[in-house]
Amino acid sequence: MRNKKLSVWAKIYIVFIIALVGILMIYIVVDKEEKVPEYSTITVKESVIDSKVEEEVGPKLSTLDFASTEWGTHGGDYYNRRYSMLSQITSETIGDLKPTWVSSLGSGSEGKYSGEATPIVVDGVMFITTGANEIFALDAKTGEQIWAYTPNIVQEMDTVCCGWTSRGVAVGDGKVYAGLLDARLIALDQKTGELLWETKVAEWEEGYTVTSAPLYYNGNVYTGVSGGEYGIRGRVMAYDSDLGREVWRFYTIPGPADMDGDTWPTDNNAWLTGGGPVWNTPAVDPELGYIYFATGNTAPDLDGSNREGDNLYANSIVALNAENGDYVWHFQEVHHDIWDMDPTNPVVLYDVEMDGKMRKGLGQAGKTGWVYFLDRTDGTPLVGIEEKPVPQLAEQKTAATQPFPIGDAFVPQTIMEEDVKNDLGPEFTGETGSIFTPFWDVPITLKPGPFGGANWPPSAYNPDTEYFYVLGNDHYMSFARQEDEAFEEGSMYVGSIMQPVSNAPTRGTVTAIDVKTNKIAWQKKWDTLAYSGVLTTAGNLVFVGHNDGRLIAFNAKTGDEVWEYKMDAGANAPSITYEIDGEQYIAIYAAGNALAGSIHGDKVYTFKLGGALPEGQIIDASAKRGGGDTTTVGDSTVSANIDKGITLYDANCLACHGNQGANGHNGPNLQKSEIAVSKEAVIERITNGKNGMPSFKETLTTEEMQAVADYVVTVISPLGK
């Protein structure tokens, strides 16, 4: 009888046909959905292709758990709540909270860097990244270095908007993921720091950067792009965690044929350079399967004359299907933004009972000075939001109405007569206005302004108090139109001039807001920026960093200050908490901030009850650095000439004073500065600092200061001598 089994050749033929069909299907899917852009380049270490992690290493988060023994994501959990269930440290026991270890990273302490990173703690290891984008793994109990990775970032990058920084990493599937300033996304081995893969997210030469911490969730790594001041087209991407392959992307600025593309002009290509960066780490609701994020400013920031319409999805909260990137809903906080009043604060998800029903809430704190509370299932307001008419200006193509949340603003939104008298002084003679007052030929001063309201420092939600905790700033900003600015790839694309009012104060606020009413429960005011982030715990505590280097704890219910500790650099990053061997720890990265003008440093401070660190004892965690490329730093002595001055200015001054001395984020316009006309005056100000500007005498040599002065006086100032 004939054998009915297939012959060898038949088997080979069948395998060939199956493989061919598989290849064709992959080609069809990729071609149809355009999943992989032309510039997407992935470098994968060979060993990664042939091996899988034997046992999953990563944050042990159930889908809805609050943070407890670990701090597994940038926001503590998938909801970005920044709340921990740990309660060993309470408002009653905190008097015994003392340092247990302090580690010096030896990275990111120069003037151009900002220390904004949230540490991640998983499996007893702390992962932290510096403003120089160097990544460290530390023993979370002792502070000793386990490994360090140094990426090879081009030091001459000149497309950085707001200072060199990184806000953190993500951990999952045995890997540590980081977005880099040069628009790369990398994956490192969680145990060794070895580079496993990297992919190019975009081109930094075109103005794209990555400053936010990515999010790992369910086998994907999610990240957005920064660079709204450079006329980018914003986007959010999901990457496969194994090999770094792009799974999907969502453009925050739709094209003419896309849904809501009609919110941009049809007679020009303003949408191609329309902005919409994503400055913050997304949140995820695993039950709904949605990912949430807020989008940044339109471009050009301050000139709406060439982009008539609401300009979606800029200045919006957006919900997408986390698996495939499909649009679900959006809510726009500012229509047709001409004030750089974008929502840079991370979205926070929470569940709360309202009117006898459990509601799925979402809170986002805006630069407008309001918190927007929405139902995250469909984007409708949980607490009322009204569309109200606003002042109009034909030249700016202003929107007819703007959203006004019902409840309390957490910073002032109008300049009153007493403000002019007390803050601006008798020498001030300019025009003033309120939120949403437009400007054109006549300069106008407004608040809260683009450095006011809530900026990137993350907010938090405490389910015990049902309060939303937000840092805000009461900040004056003057706007003045400049001549039409043509878009040039890789150059700032702002459209007008904005600058702080000379000698006007900036006041920070720490505010607790009831999520059911959007009313202020308590508020603390500072005479300086509030620029760090919030941690809240089940111990009835709220932790906030201060510009002067203090880590401060408040009673979460009453706002009473219950504890503080002074560090040696600005506390401009959020703190976290975790538990090892039954002991609760509090940790914060204190490294200062270029925009905040605080003292720079390089240390991670960690506290516990009964901490017994001898005064002055610091762990050197900068040794044994390896695991990747190294960046070579040149000789610190620089000859006093304009070319060197440009390099030094870009590294130390551009973040605050802007390109060519104008359109900075917190520094005066040097093109109109009386100080900038004299080399001696410039050197004196660099040396000693003043009015919120830090001293650079510990950062720059005498020769370097001379080089900067040569550039400022000779090139930037039209009246320099």
Q: So which residues are the catalytic ones?
A: 340
Question: Which of 554, 490, 380, 584 has its CA nearest to residue 160?
Answer: 490
**Cβ-proximal residues to 422 (8 Å cutoff; 6+ apart), any chain:** none
Joined tokens for residue 642: 């304009």
Cis upstream peptide for 292 (omega within 30°): no
Strands 83-84 and 534-537: parallel
Q: What angle do CA 202, 665, 651 make, to 5 degrees?
A: 65
- Which DSSP string do the residues of 437-483 spell out, in sequence order? ---SSS-EEESS-TTSB--SS--EEETTTTEEEEEEEE--EEEEE-S
Q: Which two tokens stand for residue 169?
A: 């990493």
Asked whether the beta carbons of 523 and 410 are under 8 A apart, the reply is yes
Residue 540 CA to its chain's centroid (Å): 27
- Separation of alpha carbons 319 and 376, rounded Å: 8
Cα dihedral 443, 448, 449, 454 in deg (nearest 10)? 180
User: How far apart, in Å, are the Cα atoms of 226 and each of 217, 223, 276, 279?
Assistant: 21, 10, 9, 6
**Is the distance from CB of 622 to CB of 604 less than 8 angstroms?**
no
d(CA 274, CA 267): 14
CA proximity to 536, closest of 550, 554, 521, 520: 554
Which value, in Å, is the radius of gyration of the alpha carbons in the chain? Answer: 25
> What residues contact 59, with CB distance under 8 A and at least 6 apart?
70, 72, 73, 120, 122, 171, 172, 216
